[in-house]
Amino acid sequence: MPFGPQQPTPISHAADRQRTIYVAGASGIKPIIPISETELQSQAKQALSRKAYDYIAGGAGKEHTVSHNQSAFRQWHILPRMLRDVSQRDTSLELFGRKMHSPFLTAPIGVLELAHKEGDLAVAKATSSLGVPMIFSSQASYPMESCSALMGNAPRWFQLYWSKSDELVKSLVQRAENCGCEAIVITLDTTLLGWRERDLNLAYLPFLEGKGIAQYVSDPVFQQLMAEPDLAAPEKRKVTATTLQTAFKLMNRYPGSFVGNLRSGKPLRAVRKFIDIYSRPSLNWQDIPKIRAFTKLPILLKGILHPDDAKKALEIGIDGIIVSNHGGRQIDGAVSTIEMLPEICQAVQGKIPVLLDSGVRTGADVFKALALGASAVCLGRPYAYALAIAGEAGVREYLLNMMADFELTMGLAGCKSLSEIGRACLRPEHPF
């Protein structure tokens, strides 16, 4: 099945990938992005402004959950088996009727323009060239239609923040369906924004500069909502040089001409309306089934951490779960995802796919998640770092590295395909 507008370059096996890197190295050519995630993060830090880097890397509070997400993977060890003829390795799987080369997707990451001016467009091109499903964020920097136009038949999903307006929810979901999205992911853990110390220290929220609100300002229902009178009149504040700079960025960023935007005052109204309605703190289990009236697509819930919530999701007929703590950006001190995965899989009993994100950094992490019952994982911050360093090509290289790393780990552990990866492939650090 063709993935991109052109046929994607066939993905080579891990051994070819290693060879390509080593042979280029012999001619003095280094990989365009670092292979190790820690180095990737530190190069991205150098490439980005402090505000942009802190927004992406930061988490809630003291960031204990950000680090715990990764250290919790180290609580599990792979127990390899030998002499199992792993010359032929197949990392493919089928998810919601779509064949995938490898068990991962890109997690929805908002405001990607902070990492690179091409933002989501670069990620759309990189993922579609490899057939890796991209999950468009509600907080994207480019409208979903612009990304889809670059992706041919490549797989994509849409992530939804349930707005205060059901009409807006309907419109976003139907746009997603119209632009070829194959599933809707409802993120549950961000009905309120977490206490993010780095952003608060810098007093920086990108949305106030009009960044990350492209799905809204391109939406016909949002446009209508903007026309409604503004009930919450803005507080009068002293105008400083920074206020003017922020206003300048906003006028420039908003669709249309700078002068037109200045005259109409639309960008400011859009930001205020967005802040007012983008999420619904009252969201509850009774709201979720309403989405079935808006779309026939499979629905996944992202942000599930408690097995009872997983059971509840099953009861209301949800099609899939993403075990996630939003990369530690919401509750500091929250459980890691990998520690909750076995109980959630136990609760779900294989009836629907369970995906996982938060802290996945290496092929071994992907392997461990699969061994504990995940069908696939979502890759997060590292692809944003790769984007910051080398744009579309950086994201593509990062994904190719993950594919190779996972394939080698799987083969070296004695597994030829995903069906052979199971609980018996792991030992806990501290036996229960």
Residues of the shown chain interacting with ligand FMN in the complex, contacts defined by CB under 6 A = 55-56, 69, 107-110, 137-139, 159, 187, 302, 324, 326-327, 329, 357-360, 380-381
Nearest to 426 by CA among 304, 415, 416: 415
Q: Least distance (Å) from ligand FMN to the CB of residue 390?
A: 18
Instruction: Calculate the CA 241 to chain-centre distance.
Output: 35
Helices 220-227 & 166-178, crossing angle to 10 degrees? 150
Q: Least distance (Å) from ligand FMN to the CB of residue 301?
A: 11
Nearer to ligand FMN, 266 or 381 (CB): 381
Amino acid letter for position 249: K
Distance between CA atoms of 194 and 236, rounded to whole angstroms?
26
Amino acid letter for position 269: R
Nearer to ligand FMN, 148 or 261 (CB): 148
Q: Least distance (Å) from ligand FMN to the CB of residue 385?
A: 10
Q: Least distance (Å) from ligand FMN to the CB of residue 115?
A: 8
Nearer to ligand FMN, 3 or 161 (CB): 161
Nearer to ligand FMN, 324 or 409 (CB): 324
CA angle 78, 84, 89 (to 5 degrees): 80
**b/e string for 43-53 if b means 16 or more Cβ within 10 A?**
bbbebbeebbb
Q: Least distance (Å) from ligand FMN to the CB of residue 358?
A: 4
Catalytic, 326? Answer yes
172 and 195 in contact (C-beta within 8 Å)?
no
Question: Which residues on adjacent β-strands are paired with residue 105?
Answer: 378
Instruction: Calculate the CA 157 to chain-centre distance.
Output: 10
Distance between CA atoms of 154 and 4, rounded to whole angstroms?
5
Nearer to ligand FMN, 357 or 407 (CB): 357
Active-site residue, selected from the candidate residues 68, 101, 116, 326: 326
DSSP letter string, 213-256: -HHHHT-HHHHHHHHS--SSPPPP----HHHHHHHHHHHHHSSS
327 and 357 in contact (C-beta within 8 Å)?
yes
Distance between CA atoms of 165 and 417, rounded to whole angstroms?
44
Nearer to ligand FMN, 107 or 386 (CB): 107
Nearer to ligand FMN, 251 or 377 (CB): 377
126 and 400 in contact (C-beta within 8 Å)?
no
Residue 32 φ/ψ region, left for φ over 0, alpha for ψ in the -120 to 50 degree band, beta for the rest:
alpha
Q: Least distance (Å) from ligand FMN to the CB of residue 26?
A: 33
Q: Least distance (Å) from ligand FMN to the CB of residue 23?
A: 31
Tell me the residue nearest to ligand FMN as measured from the CB.
Answer: 380
Report CA-CA distances (Å) from 46 to 37, 50, 370, 399: 14, 9, 34, 21
Q: Least distance (Å) from ligand FMN to the CB of residue 431?
A: 27
Report CA-CA distances (Å) from 189 to 186, 326, 340, 352, 411: 9, 7, 16, 20, 36
Q: Which H/E stretch holds residue 98?
A: strand 98-100
Residue 5 φ/ψ region, left for φ over 0, alpha for ψ in the -120 to 50 degree band, beta for the rest:
alpha
Nearer to ligand FMN, 273 or 329 (CB): 329
Catalytic residues: 326
